[in-house]
Amino acid sequence: MNMELIERLETRFDELIMRVRQLEEDNLALMAQVESEAGKRREVQDRIEALLVKVQASLGGQ
């Protein structure tokens, strides 16, 4: 009976370790995605700023 319990605990432990590893991989993927989205956001902000500068220059030239 004790061996059966130990085997079940070992199995559960192995499952939990695999789950932790999967979550770590998922976390790395999500962090990469967040960084990518942040880069896109910065790019859009830069483009908007450039357009605002053009609009202001255009309005100032009238």
To which H or E segment does residue 3 belong? Answer: helix 2-60
pTM of the model: 0.67
- Please count the other Cβ atoms lying within 10 Å of the Cβ belonging to residue 59: 8
Query: What tens-digit pLDDT sequence spans the chain (62 residues)?
Result: 799 999 999 999 999 999 999 999 999 999 999 999 999 999 999 999 999 999 999 998 66
Q: List Cα–Cα distances, 23 to 10, 20, 29, 36, 46, in angstroms.
A: 20, 5, 10, 20, 34
Length of the chain: 62
Matching residue, tokens 């999500």: 30
